[in-house]
Structure 1
Amino acid sequence: MAIEHIHHLTEADHCQTLVLKIGSALLVDGDGHPRKDWLDALVREIAGLRAGGQKVIVVSSGAIALGAARLDLPKGGRASLADAQAAASVGQIALAGLWSGLLEEHGVQAAQMLVTLDDLEDRRRYLNASSTLSRLLDAGVVPVVNENDSVATEEIRFGDNDRLAARVGQAAGVDAVLLLSDVDGLYDGDPKDSGAKLIERVEGVTPEIIAMASDNSSSGMGSGGMLAKLQAARIAERAGITLAILNGTGNAPIARAVKEGRGTLFMPRRSDTARKAWLGGRIAPEGVLTVDAGCAEALGNGASLLAPGLIEVEGAFDRGALVSIHGPKGERMGQGLVEYSADECRAILGLREGDQAAKLGYTPRAAVVHRDHMVQL
């Protein structure tokens, strides 16, 4: 079922998997210390969402702010690139420990993932991130994702975790991305002006919508602002993901927003995800995988492409390449991102799972082309 109202974000029937993004200003106070009471309340909400059958990914800012306080660095650790990287290195440990400890109090296991935006742009690294997120969620874990600011360069200066949250949502195939902010949502003017009105629903991030945003972060602590959130919404809407902006400044912000029905929902603009559209024809395939009749029928019913149904491999490609998938008569059925190189595909061609390890020299992956990374044509 589609997400049409804010309360649907907390209902598993409408939103099975949710990315929750928390900014630095919400997580850390002005002195660089964690806002423990606020975090305790939020983690109780996360535990409640999971108890209701939802899977949750947390995208958490705060590493630079936490590290800067410990190192006594000026300007919150953002006086220079070297300061930001050093602060992030210290703060990432503190941030991971903070989330792990709080979630553990509710019997929830946390996992840390440090990524850069490039990790989700490169096809091979994207597959790795997607597979890791999927496995963690299936295992009942809450992944806590942050940008790897300790090694990033341009990302620290221009990146933001709003956009990262949308990219993570794409990789994990989530239903919604929820950005907790210091305002109720998108206003048609400056929220400080009494005449400004909250926009509750946005059907497409147009130039007119962009013009309403400020690119400044009101806290001065993070790297995002409303413009960054609209850029995230644009990524989400093209991927078939609903994005919401809610006010996170008070305790239990999700419950409060749901009760009041107050926030901004950005609706998906297309039924296909951006990933599916990309796989469907925007990049020339580097090879061809031909399957037998049984596999072709299974693929038509939404299955993954498995090695036993593979009868021919054409081309030279690496893992993560886009390949075309043909039926036994040469008809083009679809295309997707392959989990093996061309030589590895030829090695396991027609083999069942139990016989693949001897050929590969390692435990085989779940599929040659997973259905999550495949589109039918």
Structure 2
Amino acid sequence: MTEKRNIVIKIGSALLANQDLLTPRFGFLQRLLEDVMRLRSQGYQVILCSSGSVALGLRMVGETPETAGVSDKQAAAACGMPLLLNAYKQVGHEYGIEIAQVLLTLGDFEDHRRFLNTRNTVHRLLEADIVPIINENDSITTEEIRVGDNDRLAAKVAQMVGAQDLVILTGVDGLYDRNPDDPEAQFVPEVTDVSDYMEATKGKSTLGTGGMATKLQAANMAQEAGCTTWIAQGEVDRPLSAVLSGERRSTKIIAHENPLSGWDSWIANRLQMAGSVVVKDTVFDTMAERKRAVRREDIISMDGDFTRGDVLHIYDKQGVERARGLSDFTSEEIRVLVSNPEAEAEKLLGYRTKGEIIRGANLVPLETRHLLWDAPAAIAEEATGLGG
């Protein structure tokens, strides 16, 4: 392998922490990092997205996965992160692997400047032949401002670094067409459209925060960025290289042949909804060619409180999401503009502006390959009324 190939590995909590003792599983870490060493010798640049800090810290704060509340989990994350990093450090030293910790929050992905700064840090670590171990900063995040699962976090990291491969290691050998407990469940070796299987992905692990649904959401985000995803059992020898070589069973979610650009991928692949607007159907007639911006006269209604530079989800009158785009105004400014359609935008806002809510260059139409987001309740109700 002549060129460096970026690969992101996501490891679930159940693989890293003993479910009963809530202690590090050193046997798994040895198998994992031995395989990381093997991939690095083949020319891969490896980034780990590792769960486990909360699980490893629960015992120290006197809680269990069943009893822990938000503040308990935040405290457990603070206690468990040194344990997790120490375990990686100990085992990594055996294989000549240097590691670095990168803790991220939702804002590091959703704010473009912070996104680029984080990307620069990760690239610099890779240049120094150091393996970044990335996790959400669970000790400071709350439900309102957190990513919520490391599956989608890993997909955003894959997008960030331009990875060609994303391997999600979990407790099952891949995707099934229904609950794997069903005796008639059939294994799915390859997927092009993840939406075909979203209904078959209910449930989540005891220690983790995500189930198969978040893994497919992550795979869809990776597809958009031109990254192929594998979902595979982690509790085996050579958990990574055997998957990439096709030597053992896994589910492969194939990257799109024509991925979005880095800018469009950042706009289209969101972790949380900052705000949304319903626009007239005529807006979508020329949206695919980006011949026009979304203007204030196009907006029928809106939902959410957001700021300039946030990405808005754009719905038609039937409540179907059709696009995502970068807002040039705050939610308050848009309300002022929409409420006063005859007044000049400059006079209303007090500064020079064309009054375009979303510029054409910052607008990404959603194709059938995207997983669409349900409209917020207020917009869904209004859409029902409009449709009637």
Report TM bin, short chain. 0.5 to 0.7
Pick closer, same or farther for the CA change 1:279–1:266 going to 2, 3 Å. Answer: closer
Q: In the alignment, is residue 252 of structure 1 matched against residue 238 of structure 2?
A: yes
Q: In the alignment, is residue 167 of structure 1 matched against residue 156 of structure 2?
A: yes
Task: Give the whole-Å Cα distance in 2 for the aligned partners of 1:178 and 1:39.
Answer: 16
Match of 2:252 among 257, 265, 268: 265
Match of 2:39 among 49, 52, 56: 49
Equivalent in the alignment of 1:119 = 108
Q: In the alignment, is residue 40 of structure 1 matched against residue 27 of structure 2?
A: no
Equivalent in the alignment of 1:95 = 84
Alignment check: 8 A CA contact 1:238 1:270 kept: no
Identical-residue share of aligned pairs (%):
39
How far residue 204 of structure 1 moved from its aligned partner, in angstroms, is 2.2
Q: Secondary structure at the match of 2:240?
A: helix
Equivalent in the alignment of 1:239 = 225
Q: In the alignment, is residue 204 of structure 1 matched against residue 193 of structure 2?
A: yes
Q: In the alignment, is residue 177 of structure 1 matched against residue 166 of structure 2?
A: yes
Pick closer, same or farther for the CA change 1:15–1:191 going to 2, 3 Å. Answer: farther
Q: How many residues align?
A: 269
Equivalent in the alignment of 1:327 = none
Alignment check: 8 A CA contact 1:42 1:253 kept: yes
CA deviations over 1:90-123 (Å, ceiling 9, x no partner)? 1111111211221122111100000013211101
How far residue 70 of structure 1 moved from its aligned partner, in angstroms, is 2.2
Task: Give the whole-Å Cα distance in 2 for the aligned partners of 1:142 and 1:57.
Answer: 6
Pick closer, same or farther for the CA change 1:156–1:181 going to 2, 3 Å. Answer: farther
Task: Give the whole-Å Cα distance in 1 for the aligned partners of 2:265 and 2:26.
Answer: 42
Match of 2:73 among 61, 84, 87: 84
Pick closer, same or farther for the CA change 1:281–1:43 going to 2, 3 Å. Answer: closer
**Amino acid of the structure 2 residue aligned with 1:228:** T
How far residue 157 of structure 1 moved from its aligned partner, in angstroms, is 7.6
Alignment check: 8 A CA contact 1:84 1:156 kept: no
Task: Give the whole-Å Cα distance in 2 for the aligned partners of 1:153 and 1:221.
Answer: 18
Match of 2:96 among 79, 82, 107: 107
Unpaired stretches in structure 2, ≥5 consecutive residues? 270-308, 311-388
Equivalent in the alignment of 2:324 = none
Q: Secondary structure at the match of 2:24?
A: coil
Equivalent in the alignment of 2:143 = 154
How far residue 74 of structure 1 moved from its aligned partner, in angstroms, is 3.0
Unpaired stretches in structure 1, ≥5 consecutive residues? 1-11, 283-319, 322-377
Equivalent in the alignment of 1:137 = 126
Pick closer, same or farther for the CA change 1:242–1:83 going to 2, 3 Å. Answer: same
**Amino acid of the structure 1 residue aligned with 2:180:** P
CA deviations over 1:179-203 (Å, ceiling 9, x no partner)? 0011111111111223211111111
Deviates further, 157-166 or 255-264: 255-264
Alignment check: 8 A CA contact 1:162 1:228 kept: yes
Q: Secondary structure at the match of 2:65?
A: helix
Equivalent in the alignment of 1:22 = 11
**Amino acid of the structure 2 residue aligned with 1:82:** S
Instruction: Return structure 1 stretches of 4+ with deviation > 3 angstroms.
Output: 12-15, 155-158, 255-261, 278-282
Alignment check: 8 A CA contact 2:8 2:46 kept: yes
Equivalent in the alignment of 1:75 = 65
Alignment check: 8 A CA contact 2:104 2:135 kept: yes
Match of 1:64 among 54, 58, 78: 54
Q: In the alignment, is residue 192 of structure 1 matched against residue 178 of structure 2?
A: no
Pick closer, same or farther for the CA change 1:155–1:20 going to 2, 3 Å. Answer: farther
Pick closer, same or farther for the CA change 1:272–1:255 going to 2, 3 Å. Answer: closer
Q: Secondary structure at the match of 1:114?
A: strand
Task: Give the whole-Å Cα distance in 2 for the aligned partners of 1:178 and 1:155.
Answer: 28
Deviates further, 244-253 or 19-28: 244-253
Alignment check: 8 A CA contact 1:200 1:265 kept: yes
How far residue 213 of structure 1 moved from its aligned partner, in angstroms, is 1.2
Equivalent in the alignment of 1:221 = 207
Pick closer, same or farther for the CA change 1:103–1:82 going to 2, 3 Å. Answer: same
Alignment check: 8 A CA contact 1:81 1:156 kept: no
Aligned-pair RMSD on alpha carbons?
Answer: 2.5
Alignment check: 8 A CA contact 1:158 1:223 kept: no
TM-score (norm 1): 0.66
Deviates further, 264-273 or 152-161: 152-161
Alignment check: 8 A CA contact 2:13 2:52 kept: yes
